[in-house]
Amino acid sequence: MATDLYAEIVSSIAAPLDGWLVESGAEPGLSLGPPTREGAGDLAAACHRYAKALRKPPQAIAAGLAEIARAHPLVAEVEAVAGFLNLRLDWARVAEKTIPWALGDDGALGRSSALAGQKVVIEYSSPNTNKPQHLGHCRNNILGHTMATLIEAAGAEVVRVNLINDRGIHICKSMVAWRRFGAGATPESTGMKGDHLVGAFYVRFDQAFNAEYEEVHAGATDRPSKDAWFNGDSPLGQEARAMLRAWEAGDEEVHALWRMMNGWCEAGFQATYARMGVRFDHIDRESVTWKLGRELVDEGLANGTFRRLDDGAVVFDLEKLGLEGQKVVLRGDGTTLYTTQDLGTAMQRLDRFGFDQLIYVVGNEQDRHFQVLFGILTHLRPALAGRLFHLSYGMVELPDGRMKSREGNVVDADDLMDELHAGALEVCRENLPDADPGSLEATAEAIGLGGLKFFLLRYAPATTFVFDKERSIRPEGETGVYCQYAYARAGRVLERLGDLDRGITPDWAALTEEKPRAVLTALLQFPGEVRMAAVEHKPSLVTKATFEAARTFAALYNDADYRLLDAEPARQLALALLVEAVRRVLGAGLALLGIQPVEAM
């Protein structure tokens, strides 16, 4: 069973109020929610919108609604002020409903049917096989995987897809560098993880290219751009382009080198994904999909979606999307582009999965690409309108600026996870001096990865921010560690209490005071935030809701008035059940974020 108790409570209070409005001559749809003014109660509604229909001043309408609201068993106090209806709940009765729900209903854990019956395909990660994954990939991986988890929690069937970019000139650069400078190096002979070894050769190519460029153009005042040099007379550039042509022609020697180095890189990716807790249901590779889309181009030429230029190129007129210019979908020599491939891949997925929604998790530098891609797709298949979504996200920057893979100026995902683990392990050794080494290592890994995931998810996707490694694993503030610590603390409280006498009636009045009430509010609002995060693609709402549960529990725990060990039995039981409930919801929030709870910190 998955019930949103808060929504049910609000609905049960709003229903008779709406009924009174309709009987009085107004349209239904009373908006009853948290007040915007502090101290105005627990729920509020503005009555000004009904004044014209009812021909009454807002204050008179609020007073009439107040009389109806007073009869509701969950309403303790009512006031009509300046045309607003303000309600205060009977928190003892609310607690009596909330605690059993939070302890036994999957709805309290964020499960819902908001997207039930839908099939959602979500593509994320999409790394290049010429380098290891870095901090930017971490955001993509974690954002994509978490969104898939949240959408599943909302009742949809989800297909997680990774499109690995395993061909192209950037791949050939690493291959050229290995052939020139590698001397037969392998992951086994060097002791390097496969993707790190391939990435080292990608950087080596750039170093050699820069040296070549400086040597040839030393002292020149009319130097060509590096791109022009690479695509022109550069020996290294010519070698890389020749290798790409050989690959496309099916040259077996080139393909053997390509398969070997891609194998190293993909094995490294799999280890990174496994450690990060990221998985996929289906993997596409550009080496397979790169020719997809040709048939769509032919179809679009026939129906007028595309047109052919005098040089043979096929284009889509962007005026159809309210933009300027043209988008080439097939070059004059008949070769395809990324857009051609993306058109074909999307249609292949529609045929394969029959999705209701296709979500691409890709950085905001590709905003225009997806605007054009979706526009072309909906011209080719009008039924796709509204079913394509670009989950655009901002960059993760370092304190000294953006990362550049070719220059080696990146934070490798593996190295970052190692550093966070080491920092967490140092703290764990201080706080848990008697713990066995294996337990410490496991706890440090959970804290390090939890800190990384929470930090990357706590910002709205569109936000660009600077990653603060030290702050990500601090036990104070809005961090994953803070939430893990609250979960561990709650477990410790319950452990100290031991077996409680559950045969007595809990003193629900003990939960009507400010701090227990804040915990109850956090529990009640948690499912709505999770549901909204799934529907609106904003996992930051879940980090905030999880943190709010942790924060309100910590405020309760740190208050001497709520010492459970010294409380009389009925009060003790009510507070203990509240701790059990918040621990269950905290565990659910961490799980939705892909964060491992810990039992001791």
564 backbone dihedrals φ, ψ, rounded to 5°: -75, -35
Q: Edge to edge, what strands does the sheet with 119-123 contain?
A: 282-285, 157-164, 119-123, 357-363, 388-393
Helix (H, G, I), strand (E, B) or coil at 126: coil
Task: State the pLDDT at residue 357.
Answer: 98
**Which residues, in sequence order, are CB contacts of 532 under 8 Å at separation 6+?**
538, 541
pLDDT bracket for residue 501 (50, 70, 90): confident
Q: Is 50 exceeded by the pLDDT of residue 444?
A: yes
Instruction: Assess whether pLDDT exceeds 60 at residue 406.
Output: no
pLDDT tens digits for 449-494?
Answer: 999 999 999 999 999 999 999 999 999 999 999 999 999 999 999 9
Residue-level pLDDT at 246: 96
- How far apart (Å, rounded) are the C-alpha atoms in residues 129 and 20? 65
What contacts 220, CB < 8 A, 6 or more positions away? none
**pLDDT band with cut points at 50, 70 and 90 for residue 516:** very high
Lowest mean pLDDT among 153-157, 324-328, 423-427, 585-589: 423-427
- The tokens describing 419, both together, are 């550093």
Q: What is the mean pLDDT of residues 555-562?
A: 92
Cα angle value 147/486/523 (rounded, 5°):
60
Q: Taking each helix axis from N to C terminus, what angle separates 413-431 and 437-457, rounded to the nearest 10 degrees? A: 120
Q: What percent of the chain has pLDDT over 90?
A: 87
Question: Which 3-state string (H, E, C) describes 157-181?
Answer: EEEEEEEEECCCHHHHHHHHHHHHH
pLDDT over 60 (residue 537) = yes
First to last CA, the chain: 33
Tokens representing residue 377 in the block = 């797709």
- The rounded mean pLDDT for the chain is 94
Q: What is the pLDDT of residue 334?
A: 84
CA-wise closest residue to 344 among 299, 307, 309, 383: 299
Strand, coil or helix: 359: strand
pLDDT, residue 400, reads 65
Closest C-alpha among 109, 103, 105, 108 to residue 577? 103
User: What is the distance between the alpha carbons of residues 359 and 535, in angstroms, rounded to a whole number?
Assistant: 12
Tokens 């924060």 sit on residue:
551
Rounded to 5 degrees, φ, ψ at 112 are -155, 175
Q: For the sheet containing 314-317, what is the strand order?
A: 307-308, 314-317, 326-330
Q: In the predicted model, is pLDDT for residue 380 greater than 80? A: yes
On the question of pLDDT at 407 being above 60, the answer is no
| Mean per-residue pLDDT, 397-407 | 59
What sign does the dihedral 239-243-244-245 (CA atoms) show?
Answer: positive
Query: 446 burial class (0-12, 13-18, 19+ CB within 10 angstroms)?
Result: buried
**Residue 583, CA distances (Å) to 99, 296, 363, 553, 595 in order:** 12, 53, 35, 9, 14
**Cα 424 off chain centre by:** 23
Domain ranges of the chain: 5-89
Q: What is the mean pLDDT of residues 575-584?
A: 97
Q: What is the pLDDT of residue 420?
A: 96
Q: What are phi and psi for residue 383, nearest 5 degrees?
A: -65, -15
List C-alpha distances in Å: 36 to 83, 200, 246, 254.
Answer: 14, 55, 66, 66
For 289-304, give one letter per residue: b (16+ CB within 10 A) or e: bbebbbebbeebeeee
Helix (H, G, I), strand (E, B) or coil at 307: strand
pLDDT score, position 437: 86
What are 105-135's pLDDT values in tens digits? 999 999 999 999 999 999 999 999 999 999 9
pLDDT surpasses 60 at 179: yes
- Among 7, 1, 103, smallest CA distance to 524 is for 7
Is the CB of residue 149 less than 8 Å from the CB of residue 367?
no
The pLDDT of residue 432: 81
Instruction: Encode pLDDT of 275-330 as tens digits.
Output: 999 999 999 999 999 989 999 999 999 999 999 999 999 999 999 999 999 999 99
Confidence of residue 421 (pLDDT cuts 50, 70, 90): very high
Tokens of 231: 């695509």
pLDDT band at residue 405 under the 50/70/90 scheme: very low
Q: Please, which residues bridge with residue 159 across strands? A: 121
- How far, in Å, CA of 362 to CA of 289, rounded? 18
Q: What average pLDDT score do residues 223-240 get?
A: 95
Whether CATH 3.30.1360.70 fits 5-89:
yes
> Which of the pair, 399 or 388, is modelled with greater confidence?
388
pLDDT at 416 over 70: yes
Write the pLDDT tens digit of every residue in 38-63.
878 999 999 999 999 999 999 999 99
Whole-model pTM: value is: 0.94
User: By the 8 A CB rule, do 339 and 327 touch?
Assistant: yes
Contacts of 402 (CB under 8 A, 6+ apart): 395
Statement: residue 401 has pLDDT above 60: no
Q: Which whole number is the average pLDDT over 180-208? A: 97
Mean per-residue pLDDT, 501-515? 92
Distance, CA of 185 to CA of 522 (rounded, Å): 56
Backbone angles phi, psi at 44, to 5 degrees: -150, 155
Looking at residue 27, its pLDDT comes to 87
Taking the C-alpha atoms of residue 208 and residue 231, their distance in angstroms, rounded to an integer, is 16
